[in-house]
Amino acid sequence: MLIAVWIVSIGFMLISLSAMAVLIIVRAVTAARSMRQAEWRAEALERIFKMLAEDSTVQLPARTPRGYTRLLTGLASDLLALLRGLEHGQLVEIFQAAGVREILIGDLRHWNARLAQAAAENLRHFRSPESVAALRQTLTHRTPEVRLAAALSLAEMKEAPPVEELVRILDIGSAEQSRLAVELFRRLAHREFETILAIAADRSRPALLRLMALEALAEQRDPRLVAVTSAIARDETGDIASQAVRFLGALGDRSVAPIISAGLQSADWRVRVQAATAAGRLGLGELSEQLTELLDDDAWWVRHRAGEALGSLREGGIEQLRAVSAGGEDRSRRAASLALDTRSVVARG
């Protein structure tokens, strides 16, 4: 019996020692790999800085290990995102000579979608017929994020397919609902403003798609946007209407006052919030009475935005706030006082 216990103990000891040895070896290998990567990185960076400083054509050291090519693509991504101007152009040449473009084109087909997405994003720096062809093929990638990244890069290279085709391929408005889709529309707006405006105006399209199109165009302050945005601001869905009201505030056209006024009376607090903000941005003094009433709104956010809007009105707003803070109902008095305090802090700051 004792011998059996002894043998089992010896067995456990051997297993433990083996596990420890494996862990030590793994740790040593990882540390050695990290050190090697750090050395490669320092060496590559030193050469890159030297090339940038001297505008020389010295090449990066030619190594083929996978770790080194990953390091180079990572450095290319970070440095190209960090630097602009002459150095940016020099960096593109340096990394192109080191074969980074070919590595990125290969990465577009990588099983790891994150790697493929990074490659699609970074290829925008390496404009060439090969890059454009590879990115166009990537528009049918199985992963939506990779497809979108490829479309963004193509748009930046001014090589993107027509907007309608992209909306269909990328399924924007249902599968793609990120800020990146808005960015894609923004990059294409110079070329296809009318098409994107038509998408925003088309009531048969998904509401999210219309809002994305609208948001991308809103910063252009084109007068043609007012009618479309005003129509969407009347949408029954609160989140859609509130976003449209927000864009109305950004367009800078005071003729939308009746729509903003209707928004201030909306049953949906999100619309009232955006309408109050828009009234302040547009300086709609004629809505100061309505804004004053909203100082007593059930929603704290509405009271806050109404106070801010009154504070930003040139005529009458501050007086309204002072009057309410001196003798209004408890809730509205607090909202008015907060708005006045915030103004004085900002003015002092």
Partner 1 sequence: MSPAASKAVLIADDDTLVVEVVKNKLRRQGYRVASATDGMSALAAVTETRPDLVILDAMMPVHDGYHVLREMKADPVLAAIPVLMLSARKLESDRLTALALGADGYLLKPFSADELAVCVRSFFS
Which residues of this protein are in contact with partner 1, per CB under 8 A?
45, 49, 52-53, 78-79, 81-88, 349
Taking the C-alpha atoms of residue 120 and residue 49, their distance in angstroms, rounded to an integer, is 26
CB of 312 to partner 1, least distance (A): 14
Question: How far is residue 95's CA from residue 315's CA, in Å, rounded to a whole number?
Answer: 58
Complex with partner 1: residue 80 or 199, whichever CB lies closer = 80
**Nearer Cβ to partner 1 (74/161):** 74
Cβ proximity to partner 1, 14 vs 86, nearer residue: 86
The tokens for 323 are 């009057």
Shortest Å distance, C-beta 75 to partner 1: 8
Indicate the residue among 66 and 84 with the shorter CB distance to partner 1.
Answer: 84
Shortest spacing between CB 204 and partner 1, in angstroms: 36
Helix, strand, or coil (residue 30): helix
Handedness of CA 255, 259, 262, 268 (dihedral sign): negative
The two tokens of residue 88 are 């940016």
Quote the CA–CA distance of 134 and 252 in Å, as a whole number: 42
In whole angstroms, the minimum distance from the beta carbon of 46 to partner 1 comes to 8
For residue 53, the minimal CB distance to partner 1 (Å) is: 6
Q: Up-side HSE of residue 170: CA atoms within 13 Å toward CB?
A: 30
* Cβ proximity of 340 and 306 under 8 Å: no
Q: Which residues pair with 176 in a beta bridge?
A: 172
